Amino acid sequence: MVLAGLNERFPAVEGWIRQAQALLDPVPVVLAPSDDALTLSWSLQGEPQLISVPLPQDLVRAGVPLQRDVLGDTLADLLLDQGLVAAQVAVDVLLPLPCCQWRRLQGAAAATLGNGDDLRALAPDLGWSLSLQESYLDLVPDASTETVMVVGAERMVLQAWLDTLAAADFSVRRAEWLLCAAWRGLVCLHEQDLQQPLIWLVEQGGRWRLLLLEHGWPELDVALDARDLAALRVEVLGLVGAWMEHNSEPGSAALPLPGWYVTADAAWRGRWGESHDALKLGPLLGDAEMSLVELALMAPAEVPG
């Protein structure tokens, strides 16, 4: 009753209370930017919210924000239109596909890696265009198999996104690579199916990549040249055939057919499966039911303590 009376006599008190509550319990917002669009996701009263808006040219190029203040203002305006002000928001940013590289490491040495500094000291040749010394490194370990997935992002690119969000007065909870988050989402949804080899086709913005997963871990990640469906089938089946031949021993029984999963925008939904069964390629677990961003949003959040 006292609080209600204060609100009536001093309307500004209600606004102060809302700001204080926002600081104590901010709204987590996932930002998935690309060169062409911004996708934002959050929860409102337990209901998931998702918006995606196109971007003008030259705000983001090759995954790097170019006009940071303009982009920051655009983000702030988008969320303000949804009733969210900067003080309410804590951002999880999913770095665009061109920003990062990854590599699976196995063995006793990999099992001892605790952080990025350990990896820099070991200085393995990862076949990256990124420099280990100039990169932000994230390690995803699996102690039971002495396996670790190393994800690297150029420090300047990560800082550019942090500066963009700072320009909009947003706090940042975490940063993760979009593809890594989508991989965790795939594992979360299909953990039982990943005990066998899986071929994962990934599309975003009309560009495709092929990933070959063994026991859920990416063994191979290849950017594809094909843009239309016919050329995509030829390129993919050639790579998969070569991979299966390489992994089969002469005179041994044929390898079991792998599973397939297609992650792509809605325009591709069902298109890969049009002749998949006729070609006897193996079980098709998903045919573009979700985009890359939607799959990434299925991953359990990992927020540093």
283 and 218 fall within a common domain? yes
Give yes or no for a contact between 102 and 40, defined as CB atoms under 8 angstroms apart.
no
Residues 22, 92 within the same domain: yes
What is the C-alpha to C-alpha distance for residues 124 and 61, in angstroms, rounded to an integer? Answer: 30
Instruction: Find tokens 């940013």 and name the residue.
Output: 93
Q: Note whether 89 and 104 are same-domain residues.
A: no
Residue 60 structure tokens:
């983001």
Contact, 146 vs 217, CB < 8 A? no
Distance CA 136, CA 162 (A): 13
Q: How far apart are CA 35 and CA 57, in angstroms?
A: 8
Q: Are residues 173 and 210 in the same domain?
A: no
Q: Please provide residue 137's backbone torsions phi and psi, each rounded to the nearest 5 degrees.
A: -120, 135
Q: Same domain for 141 and 42?
A: no
Query: What pLDDT, on a 0 to 100 scale, did the predictor assign at position 9?
Result: 58
Cβ distance 70 to 147 under 8 Å? no
- Do 86 and 132 fall into the same domain? no
Count of domains in the chain?
3
Examine the domain organization and report whether 171 and 47 are in the same domain.
Answer: yes
pLDDT at 22: 47
| 88, 213: one domain | no
- Give the pLDDT of residue 34: 94
Q: Do residues 210 and 269 both lie within one domain? A: yes
Instruction: Transcribe 13-71 into DSSP letters.
Output: HHHHHHHHHHHHSPEEEEEEE-SSEEEEEEEETTEEEEEEEE--TTSEETTEESSHHHH
**Sheet bearing 147-154, strands edge to edge:** 100-106, 147-154, 135-142
Q: What is the pLDDT of residue 1?
A: 43
Q: For each successive 10 residues of the chain (305 residues), what is the average pLDDT?
A: 49 50 74 95 89 92 93 92 91 95 89 89 89 92 84 94 92 94 94 90 96 92 95 95 79 75 96 92 94 93 53
pTM of the model: 0.88
H helices within 25-115, ranges in order? 68-81, 108-111
For residue 238, the tally of other CB atoms under 10 A from its CB is 10
User: What CATH number does residue 209 fall under?
Assistant: 3.30.420.40
The pLDDT of residue 302 is: 64
Same domain assignment for residues 144 and 227: no
Question: Does a structural domain hold residue 303?
Answer: no
Q: In this structure, is residue 183 part of a structural domain? A: no
Q: Domain span at residue 129?
A: 99-154
| Distances, alpha carbon 35 to alpha carbons 96, 144, 253, in Å | 8, 38, 46
Radius of gyration in angstroms for the set of CA atoms belonging to the chain, rounded to a whole number: 22
- On whether the CB atoms of residues 140 and 103 are closer than 8 A, the answer is no
Q: What pLDDT sits at residue 8?
A: 58
Same domain flag for 207 and 69: no
Matching residue, tokens 């069902």: 270
> Residue 104 corresponds to which tokens in the numbers above?
């699976």
Give me the pLDDT at residue 45, please.
84
**Hey, which bits of 45-170 come out as E strands?**
47-54, 60-61, 64-65, 89-95, 100-106, 135-142, 147-154
